Amino acid sequence: MPILIKNGTLVTASETFPADILILDEKIVAIGSHLPAPQGCQVWDAAGKFITPGGVDPHTHFDLPMFGTVSSDDHYTGHKAAAFGGTTTVMDFVVHEPEGFAASVQAWQQKAAKAAIDYSFHMNLTRWDETVSAALPQLLQMGITTLKVFTAYNQRLRLGDGEIFAALRRAGELGMLVMAHCENGDVIEPLIADALAKGNTSPEWHAHTRPAWGAVESTLRLAAMAAQANAPVYIVHMNAGGEADMLTYARQRGAPVMGETCPQYLFFSVEHLQRPDGAKWVCSPPMRSEADNARLWQALRSGEIQTIGTDHCPFFFNGSEPIVYEGKPIAIPGKELGADDFTKIPNGLPGVGDRLPVLWTHGVQAGRINANQFVALTSTNPAKIFGLYPRKGALLPGADADLVIWDPHKQVRHGVAHSHQRTDYNLYEGWQLTGLPEKVFLRGKLIVDGEKWLGEAGGGQFLPRGRGEVL
């Protein structure tokens, strides 16, 4: 059945204009003024509302094993939360198993069989040798064009600099993009040992043992490798103002490097880890300072940073107490595992459902970024960088009909009850938000209508990707 959305104000990465949108067979087929309704068409009136492309979250972790437990959102619950927040495409990270790439991806596809929105994968690259190098074309055949490397987590996830450089050169040959988690594991490990030896075990020491300088120098180091390998790098979850400085320094000198930040690094600081419930804010990299928050906002406004993801990886604050999700009680061990030792607190935060509503109020309406930048940072740029544009991230004929109708006047007191994330807390509990998704369409199907969930497990599609753009 055709769908006609009339009288809305379209917001893209570059323009804001009034128009109607006609949808047929999961695609946008026409955009214009006073479009006629085909016979049998369903018509929605969006007068007074904004219409944006569905959000694209390039950085999520669903059903991820960690510290003897697992992240509390899976590929259904997390996708549902994303949809309520206006996000219709997510990208998850596949654990690099010893059995090789094919087995690793197959395991993640089995987890994602319950997907409720469209999704794609990145591959963690935690081993490097000639066998791994020779197997990389297998990922391209599976539609996976991105690799993630780590400069921290010594003896677990980290590759050496020489291995990262070799991986960059190989990725460049194949047209793949390397993503990098930038901290300095050689600094972190002795600082953790010192803290524990002195009895410093509270959550704030998670931040004190992972200094911002390590993120700053690692960002420049990866940018330098990218320039010397002539291969692009995407720095994930940038958290320190100095990282933005290094990113800009490198880009001004022609290095093919791009950056992502996350909402938590725009609003919170190490002081939040000092609270009695500080474990809620434990993630890696950690929160920094208010000055870092301000510099990252400046970098978003100036275009120095290209995307905003979430690094969504939630855990219960108190996994010994069940919550009710879709009418059933559920409890999953969480951050209470590290009640006496910050090194045992599962690292990660909820955020996939909060990203767009929080950024609309506290980014766009607060004047930190404009509406077009909001769309670019949260939808269009990720789609371009990761090889999904213009199928995703666009309001154009031929694009998937992933649309969000925003009510700019709707208000809510945000928190765990509104976010739909399957955990027992929300970082933005009690925040007043104005301007929220009213209707969310996935390939032309209405999956969120106000507070009604119309989506379903298995309704999402895997998105094989081609080569993306270096923005």
Q: Are both 319 and 339 inside the same structural domain?
A: yes
Contacts of residue 245, defined as CB under 8 A and 6 or more positions apart, other chains included, come to 216, 295
Q: Are both 400 and 381 inside the same structural domain?
A: no
CATH number of the domain within which 171 lies = 3.20.20.140
d(CA 199, CA 197): 6
Q: Are both 377 and 406 inside the same structural domain?
A: no
Token pair, residue 160, equals 């050496």
CB contact burial 13-46 (16+ within 10 A = b; e otherwise): beeeeebbbbbbeebbbbbeeebeeeeeeeebeb
d(CA 387, CA 467): 5
Domain annotation covers residue 471 = no
Q: Are both 297 and 237 inside the same structural domain?
A: yes
Q: Are both 380 and 414 inside the same structural domain?
A: no
Domain annotation covers residue 427 = yes
Q: Are both 24 and 143 inside the same structural domain?
A: no
Q: Are both 400 and 439 inside the same structural domain?
A: yes
Q: Are both 224 and 281 inside the same structural domain?
A: yes
**So what's the pLDDT on residue 417?**
87
Domain annotation covers residue 469 = no
Closest by CA position to 112, among listed 72, 63, 169, 158? 63
Q: How far is CA 387 from CA 117, 235, 380, 384, in A?
A: 18, 17, 11, 5
SS3 readout for 128-160: CCHHHHHHHHHHHHCCCCEEEEECCCCCCCCCC
pLDDT one-digit tens code per residue, 65-94: 999 999 999 999 999 999 999 999 999 999
Q: What is the domain count for the chain?
A: 2
Burial class (CB in 10 A: 0-12, 13-18, 19+), 140: middle
Q: Are both 409 and 371 inside the same structural domain?
A: no
Alpha-carbon dihedral sign for residues 70, 310, 443, 405: positive
0.95 cut: is pTM over it? Answer: yes
Domain annotation covers residue 460 = no
Averaged pLDDT, groups of 10, the chain, 471 residues long: 97 98 98 94 97 98 96 98 98 96 97 98 97 98 98 96 98 98 98 98 98 98 98 98 98 98 98 97 98 98 98 98 96 97 98 98 98 98 98 98 97 94 98 98 98 98 97 98
**So what's the pLDDT on residue 132?**
97
Q: Are both 156 and 209 inside the same structural domain?
A: yes
Q: Are both 160 and 180 inside the same structural domain?
A: yes
**So what's the pLDDT on residue 123?**
98
Domain annotation covers residue 465 = no
Token pair, residue 297, equals 């906002």
Closest by CA position to 417, among listed 403, 404, 431, 429? 429
Q: Are both 233 and 380 inside the same structural domain?
A: yes
d(CA 235, CA 158): 15
Burial class (CB in 10 A: 0-12, 13-18, 19+), 413: exposed
Domain annotation covers residue 466 = no
Q: What is the dihedral of CA 11, 17, 23, 28, to 10 degrees?
A: -70
CATH number of the domain within which 45 lies = 2.30.40.10
The domain in which residue 411 lies consists of 3-52+394-453
Domain annotation covers residue 470 = no
Domain annotation covers residue 192 = yes
